[in-house]
Structure 1
Amino acid sequence: MKRSDVLAELKPLPPLEAIAAFEKRAPNLVETFSWQDAWQEEHATMFTVAKSAGFDILQDIQTAFEKALKEGQTPQQFARQLTPILQQKGWWGKKLVTDPQTGEAVAAQLGSPRRLQTIFDANMRVSYAAGHWANFERNKKTRPFLRYVTMDDDHVRPQHARRHNLVLPVDHLYWNRWAAPCGWRCRCTMQSLSQREVDQLIAEGEKLHFEPPAETFRSFTNKRTGEIVRVPDGIDPGWAYNPGKAGYEARVNQAIAEKVADASPQMVRAAVDDRVSSSAFERFVRDPQGSMPVMAIPAVLRDAVQEDVQVAVLSAETMEKQLRRHPELTIDDYRALPSIGADPTMVFQDGEQTFVLVKLNDGRWRYAALKVTASRKAAFVTSFRYASDENIARMLTRVGVKLLIDRRGE
């Protein structure tokens, strides 16, 4: 299989899967001020544009992009349609805008030909990545390998070029970070292969690699949250995840949520309990990939936090953090997650996080921190651990903590 044949095979993917992936997040319009307001996997559940907060332009951009995706428009056609609308609404050029988080006026670049190109490019590549990943999952029994493919020209980033022709199984952990696109304007893509096709490429002289190159990392501070994260060199901050898998998992999770939306609380809890008790969950804890629903959100908790979210999800990124920071926790500990939300002893909010706690018979507290996404359609578990009375007392003394449920005296 020649390189020209590979690229020809990659381009004509029917957009049905890409459209389906986009349609799952398109209704969830979320105005943001900074691209750091929505981080990595959160983009799989929403449609947003940085600096859109305070302007009535998000629906216009979403509608124009959906049309471009369905009709196969070029970036130029997309821009021609949108530019007069954005200019009329004042979202154009450099202006002073107010940061809703700080109340400060800052100079910002709003609409421009380059901004529209970036919006088009990022959303198109992420939508297609999710469409590709749905096919990868569907066909991995017959096409069990993925190949990282660059454009192999002078514009390819050095770290991406090092991964050209890397071939690993579809379920390999490496793809949790290094799955194209790996940054703004990244043109890399993924190709699924059968064993016969791998053998054919080798026979034709293609230099395939079956061991990923060593990774190096740098620290990046999210200025919106203050969190310091490790980002692999060669991947742009905010892209150190698998956009295709995140989009695919978002579709799966939404399908589950839609099925339980009208179900009784008992049925929702039973569905989550069944998932957490499965062998698939054990594999997820041991080898995090994708995400897992781990907690049904009862009415009392939804009322307390004033959110209509049915299920909390544990992402692979958080699970990896858990394994690093709390190696003492066992699979049985993680299988206790549903019980926290079922009958919480205490619930309090600290900033954007909601802490749900249960007092155990041995005197310890078991608790999970939840964060509702900016789209308000999903909740993620951001941490899980055990704590003492002293630990909890210190947490409750933090400035701004709001106690929502307190059943300690019952």
Structure 2
Amino acid sequence: MTEREFIKQLTPELQRMGWWGKKVFVDSAGKAEVVQEGSPWRLKTIYRTNVMSAYNAARYKQQYENADSRPYWMYIAVMDAKTRPQHAVLHGRVFRFDDPIWDTIYPSNSFNCRCRVRALTEAQIKARGLTVESSKGRLKQVMQEVAIDKRTGEIIQRPAWQYTAPDGRTMTPSPGWNYNPGRAAFQPDLERYDYDLARQYVEGMLTGPAFARAWNKWEVRVAQIRAETPGIADDAIREMLKHEAVPASFWPVAILSAADRQLLGTQTQVARLSDWTLAKQAVSRSKQGFKVDTYWRVQPTIETAITVLKNYKPTGTEVYLFYGEGNGVYVAVLKPTKNQATGADELYLDSFRKSSNYELARLRTKLEVLR
């Protein structure tokens, strides 16, 4: 889809949702302010950012798989009049591919970021007289301002990683970009792993920094939207984020046993969480006190589900798995599907939320009971 087609297709949808043009909002002091919501310029930013994020995700996968022969990565900024000073701080700096800095500053690092990474061999490093740096002692966590609530004047802050160069200059990715989009999109083929090994990988991934930064990206973005547009409905926020999510990017969140695969009627052992679903969860689950570490509960919810229900919908089937009791009931909603290119079974986490015995009892009377 071209940029022009993207704008032409999305504009009427945003107009229908009421998120378009200029609107007047009043803050807590009674001061009125004109705010520009949807616009062709903003849609261009979303389109170009998604294109660059997809490009960098593919580059990361390619460079990572070729790291044995090209283990040194150089950060490249465009270095023209539009280059952000903080991005220029990293221009020409070289780190090993496995340096922790790439979890934070692998491009893109902001909206409309044009930076990229070049992979180099040992011979190229020596021939060019380049210095391979280490980020050890140069990365620290800081509190970053992400938005100002227009109604209350509250400054909203979130933790972010900041790099300090040897010359004292610093670089902190823009709010919501303090993670590696390429690594988020790149995952090993867990279908080839045995159950225990795959399960260990998922547990480590869900409790690691990369997933935390991906969640933080959406948490920050939702906070920004709510601060910039007080009173905006959740549906309108989701409509905005739908076109900002990285296509084909997902996180494995659970591994299914052979018995669970048979119960659900699927051949895949991996339950995936798409970037788009993660964005939706950030909108609605914040009201339930969900944090990034809540997602480790997906695995035990599936493994020890006390009740499993199947829902037949026009768009496909959904499986509800309930775990816990009293005030600690959780439900994972899984959606079996097929890969359009290969025809292979796939399984996606469509929703994960706190539930109740009441909802469980109500759905048992409406849906097919598998367990």
- What TM-score, normalized to structure 1? 0.46
Q: Which has the higher strand share?
A: 2
- What TM-score, normalized to structure 2? 0.50
